[in-house]
Amino acid sequence: MSNKSKLSILAVIALILVALYVFVDIGTNWDYVLPRRGKKILAIVLTGAVIAFTTIIFQTITNNRILTPSIIGLDSLYLLVQTFLIFAFGSMNLTVMDDNFNFIVSVALMVLFSGLLYKVLFSREGQNNIYLLLLIGIIFGTFFESLSTFMQVLIDPNEFMIVQDRMFASFNNVKTDLLVISIVFIILASIYFARLYKYLDVLALGKEQAINLGVDYDYVVKRLLIIIAVLVSVATALVGPITFLGLLVANIAVQFLNTYRHSYLIIGSVLISIIALVGGQLIVERIFTFSTTISVIINFAGGVYFIYLLLKESKSW
């Protein structure tokens, strides 16, 4: 079966799941139900597309199939920002309650952190900056998690419940304004990415081979990492962190399509991500009746798959 046929099958499955989510048990009150479900589906599609896209690009840059952008520490920084806002101002303060302000602050701080990290690391000549980036990202991620835990211990238990809600991704209360801002960020990042797309297949060969083939490696990688930082920040601030989704969908796409061509891998991983999120949300709403969140299901499946990948890699060694 050709990859185009495989992508067509994935697209049909994704459309069927989207239709099921939107129209099953819709009743007669379409004017109320359709806009609410429409916002959820749009948030799911945007989040799934962004996470899948950034993971494929990040794995291409690092030449490693078990790494995701969350290793840089952006998820931990997002949780630190949410915890600090409630710790400093209280849960009823406008800085916490205003979704637009919260979104902009979260995205700005995550992008600023990523930009400073890249600037410091890529200003050092003669080093393998990617692996140093990963190492420092893990250190900062652990540091941010420790600070978050410290503040969570000190805050009021009722306010901790609000922090806990933001620790897990949720599509139940997505605001229209946030969707509009997210779409603007995603469009701008996509336009900027269009001029870098042609380098991806070459970057997959490795740093030395890419340089030998005429790619300005540091220039391209820095800009791709900036795009990743912006998009991951937007997705995380929109719905919350989903740690293992990228790992899950990117590796399934690679195994299912069995190709190095990013034109197939990106589309395939996006479709698989949408299928996973829409299917997971259907399970959350129809089977578990909102007793859990979609991130719990995705992270469980992703964690099991991550262990499988580690065991598989250990056997190849």
- Residue 163 has what pLDDT? 79
Question: Per mean pLDDT, which of 2-16, 60-74, 109-123 is the most reliable?
Answer: 2-16
Distances (CA, A) of 4 to 177, 189, 258, 264, 265: 36, 26, 12, 8, 11
Q: Is the pLDDT of residue 92 over 90?
A: no
Q: Classify 93 in phi/psi space as left (phi over 0), alpha (psi -120 to 50) or beta.
A: beta
Question: Is pLDDT of 302 > 90?
Answer: no
pTM for the structure as a whole: 0.86
> With bands split at pLDDT 50, 70 and 90, how would you rate the model's confidence at 221?
confident
Structure tokens at 252: 């399934």
Give residue-wise pLDDT tens across range 110-148. 888 888 877 776 666 545 567 777 788 888 888 988 998
Whole-number pLDDT of residue 317:
54
Q: How confident is the model at residue 216 (pLDDT cuts 50, 70, 90)?
A: confident
Q: Which residue has the higher pLDDT, 54 or 121?
A: 54
> Lowest mean pLDDT: which of 5-14, 172-181, 243-252?
172-181
Measure the CA dihedral 103/51/53/311, to 10°: 150
Residue where the block lists tokens 């205003």: 98
User: What is the sign of the dihedral through the CA atoms of 111, 117, 120 and 124?
Assistant: negative
Residue, of 247 and 93, whose pLDDT is higher: 247
Give the mean model confidence (pLDDT) for residues 103-112.
85
Please check whether residue 88 is in contact with residue 164, taking contact to mean a CB–CB distance below 8 angstroms: no
Region of poorest pLDDT, from 7-21, 55-69, 72-86, 117-131: 117-131
CA angle 70, 72, 75 (to 5 degrees): 45
Q: How large a percentage of the chain has pLDDT more than 70?
A: 91
pLDDT of residue 8: 92
Number of neighbours of residue 175 by Cβ within 10 angstroms: 14
- What pLDDT score does 130 carry? 72
Average model confidence (pLDDT) for the chain?
83
- SS3 call for 90: coil
What is the pLDDT averaged over residues 206-229?
Answer: 86
Residue 272 has pLDDT above 90, yes or no: yes
